[in-house]
Amino acid sequence: MAVERTFSIIKPDATARNLTGAVNALIEKAGLRIVAQKRIRMTREHAETFYAVHKARPFFGELVDFMISGPVVVQVLEGEGAVLRYRDVMGATDPSKAAEGTIRKVHARSIGENSVHGSDAPETAAIEIAQFFSGNEIVG
Ligand code: CMP
């Protein structure tokens, strides 16, 4: 399988509970390499752009408010089949449906406060990475 990159966000519910290291431990245990990482506060405009695909959904306003409610840690993860591998590590969007041992099963509070985001495809990953990182900030 090819080495690829995916984009990750450790969300405000997780940073508020000091879980950045715990989430990173699960990421690294799964064989993914954190090749870029920074802790930021997203602006409303950035969150609206990032989640534009969900604009028509009833939870859009709540989602944007949540993502700007506290610091987030944005990351680039690298590894074989990184996009799917990270989705496996995260578990289902709804933590009540997530498999045992996944980040969301272990740490998430609800479908909204679900601790992490990961890209859904390599093409999306490239777009999402470019929204937060310049090339020289990613060190593989
Ligand atoms: P994420 O992978 O970041 O992509 C979109 C987010 O929308 C998703 O994780 C959830 O956190 C959020 N989301 C999805 N469904 C709902 C919902 N029914 N209510 C609130 N937030 C939701």
Helix/strand/coil for 7 = strand
Overall average pLDDT of the 89-107 stretch: 98
- Averaged pLDDT for residues 124-136: 97
Nearest to 34 by CA among 76, 91, 69, 84: 76
In 68-121, alpha helices (H): 82-90, 103-107
Instruction: Write the single-letter amino acid at 137.
Output: E
- pLDDT score of 51: 98
Which residues are catalytic, by number?
Answer: 117
The number of C-alpha atoms within 13 Å of 64 and in the hemisphere containing its C-beta is 18
The confidence score (pLDDT) of residue 1 equals 81
Pocket test for ligand 1, best of 13, 49, 59 (most atoms within 8 A of CB): 59
Assess whether the C-beta atom of 114 lies below 6 angstroms from ligand 1: yes
Angle, helices 20-29/82-90, rounded to nearest 10 degrees:
130
Is the distance from the beta carbon of residue 20 to the nearest atom of ligand 1 less than 6 Å? no
Dump pLDDT digits (tens) for 7-59.
999 999 999 999 999 999 999 999 999 999 999 999 999 999 999 999 999 99
**Which string of DSSP letters, residue by residue, matches 26-79?**
HHHHTT-EEEEEEEE---HHHHHHHTGGGTTSTTHHHHHHHHTSS-EEEEEEEE
Q: What element of type H or E holds 109?
A: none
Any ligand 1 atom below 6 A from CB of 52: no
Q: Is the pTM here over 0.85, yes or no?
A: yes
Taking the centre of ligand 1 as the mean of its atom positions, its distance from the CA of residue 112, in whole angstroms, is 5
